[in-house]
Amino acid sequence: MAHMCLTRNPNNCFLISFEGFHFNVQVGLDVGGRHNTDAVSCLGYGFSRPKECLVFRPDAIPIDVQKAEPIPMQNLLNGLLAQFETVQAELSKAGVEADFERVLFIPDGHLRGDIERSWNDEADALQELHKELLRRRWITNDSVWVAVELRKIAEDWRLIRSAVKVDNPFAGRYVFPYDDESVALVCTTGAQYLTQGTANPLMLQIIDIHGRADRKEVIGDVFWGADMCFTKPDVGMRLPWVLHVADAGGALSARPI
C-alpha cells in the first residue's frame, strides 16, 4: 500500500514520491458506551504488505468490572492477545507467515493507569503483549512496537501556512512545537480537501513500547491512515482508519438496543 509523499528539495519545491507504510500492524483503541464502560479495538494487518494479505478486525474487549477507563490491564492484554491469535491463525490457514515485527497502537487519548498505582496499566498491557509474542517466537527482539496517544483537541492549536495571512494549512503538515521530541501536532485535514478553515490538528504523544521508532515514520503512518480514503478521494478522514473504526464501534455501543 503506497502513498504519495510531499518532500521539499533545496529549491524550495515539493516533490511527489511514493512510500509504503512503515508499520505492518496498526491497532486502534477506544472506550465508549452509554457510560464509557465498553472498549473496542480494531486490528489492521498488512499495511506494509497489502498484496500478501490485508485484514481489518474490530472486536469488543471484554471487561469484567464496571469501570472501563482506564481499561484494566489484564482485560486489555487478553483482548488484544485474542485478536493477534485470531489473525495469526487465519493467516496460517492461508499459508501466510504473520509479520508482527512493527506494530503501531493508536489509542484515543492518553494511555491511562489507576491513580492509586505507580504504573500505567494500559501501557503495561502492551508491554506484556510484546513479551508474550516474543515468548511464542512470533516476533524477534529487533521488533519495534510504539503507541501514539492521539488527542483530538490539540489545545485548540491551528497551524498557519503563510506568514502574511492566515491560510488553511496543508493536510500532512506537522510540527514539533515543544521541547519533547515525542510530542507533535499533525494536520490530517486541510487545504487539499477544502479551502476554507477546516484544519483541526491532532496532538500526538509517541511512546516506545519496545525498541525506538522513527518519529517521522510514526507521524507518516498516522497521516496516511487518515488519508486512506475508502469512499471519496477528495475527502480525507480526520482519524486513522483503525481508530475511526474503533471510535465508531464505541459510539454504536452507546445506542440503546
Residue ranges per structural domain of the chain: 2-153+212-253
Amino acid 116: pLDDT: 47
Q: What is the pLDDT of residues 112-160, one digit of tens each?
A: 654 444 445 788 999 999 999 999 999 999 999 999 999 887 767 777 7
Closest listed residue to residue 41, CA positions, set 245, 255, 210? 245
In one letter, which amino acid is 256?
P
**94: CB partners within 8 A, 6+ apart:** 53
> Which single residue is written with the C-alpha cell 507504510?
21
Q: What is the pLDDT of residues 88-104, one digit of tens each?
A: 999 999 899 999 999 99
| Matching residue, cell 506568514 | 163
Q: What was the pLDDT predicted at 250?
A: 64
- Measuring CA to CA, which residue among 211, 147, 216 is closest to residue 175? 216
In order, the DSSP letters of 31-63 are EETTTT-EEEEEEEE-SS-TTT--EEEEEEE--
pTM: 0.85
Q: How many Å apart are CA 228 and CA 216, to the nearest integer?
A: 18
Q: Compute the residue count for the chain.
A: 257
What's the CATH number for 2-153+212-253? 3.30.420
- Which regions in the chain score pLDDT beneath 70? 1-19, 33-37, 65-69, 112-120, 155, 161-164, 195-197, 229-236, 250-257
Three-class SS of 139-191: CCCCCEEEEEEEECCCCCCCCCCCCCCCCCCCCCCEECCCCCCCEEEECCCCC
